[in-house]
A = this chain, B = another copy of it.
Amino acid sequence: MAPTSETLTAERILEATEEVLRRHGPAKATVVDVARALGVSHGSVYRHFRTKAALREAVTKRWLDRTSEALSGIAADDRDPEGRLRDWLRTLFEAKRRKAGLDPELFATYRVLTDENGTVVGEHLADLTAQLTRIVRAGAEAGTFAAPDPEAAARAVFHATGRFHDPCHAHEWERPGVEEEFTAVVDLLVRGLRAP
């Protein structure tokens, strides 16, 4: 099909896989499809990724990392922690919502991994909570937040906002009124975090 006779690299395979996944979805996409899209035999794909699951994970990791990077910018700046927290949560919500809407098939792939409890999703979650912890800790140090254990507080905030980022709630993200629900939850959490 596109026998672009460059050398076959892991990166090129990931790109092709993402495309195939986007077109066919996780249930129908096969590694034979990926090989066909690259104009090689499927044996060559297995030289770079031990299993189909590993390939799926690698694609999802790349996809997830793009969100993480955008967020880490917010987590790392030095504005007031409360505003940063609000921004970070809102950006996370909107990123997930956009991905669910625009890339439904890749989002479905992400969901498959979530159910399979793969390491990639675990690492993604760990990364996100680490970023949140950083914000909460900054707030605690600045005296804005009362958080004796910033990591535990960050996890609580992450769990409490699950409705707005956990893939199993994706079908509720386009309902009218979610915006208000989101704001109400974040307001409540921020008040709970503030120093007396």
Binding site for B on A (CB under 8 A): 152-153, 155-157, 159-163, 166, 168-169, 180-181, 184-185, 187-193, 196
Q: A160-B160, A162-B162 are in contact. Are A155 and B181 (CB under 8 A)?
A: yes
Residues of B within 8 A of A152 (CB): 180, 184
Residues of B within 8 A of A185 (CB): 156, 159-160
Q: A116: shortest Cβ distance to chain B, in Å?
A: 12
Given A160-B161, A162-B163, A188 contacting B153 (CB threshold 8 A): yes
> How many protomers of this protein does the assembly include?
2
Q: CB-CB < 8 A to A160: which residues of B? A: 160-161, 163, 185, 188-189
The one of B155, B162, B184 that contacts A156, using a Cβ cutoff of 8 Å: B184
Q: A160-B161, A161-B160, A168-B169 are in contact. Are A192 and B181 (CB under 8 A)?
A: no
User: 11 extra interchain contacts, Cβ-Cβ under 8 A, other than A156-B187, A192-B193?
Assistant: A152-B184, A157-B188, A159-B184, A159-B185, A160-B160, A160-B161, A160-B188, A168-B169, A188-B192, A191-B193, A196-B196
A94 → chain B, closest Cβ, in Å? 17
Closest to A115 in B: B171
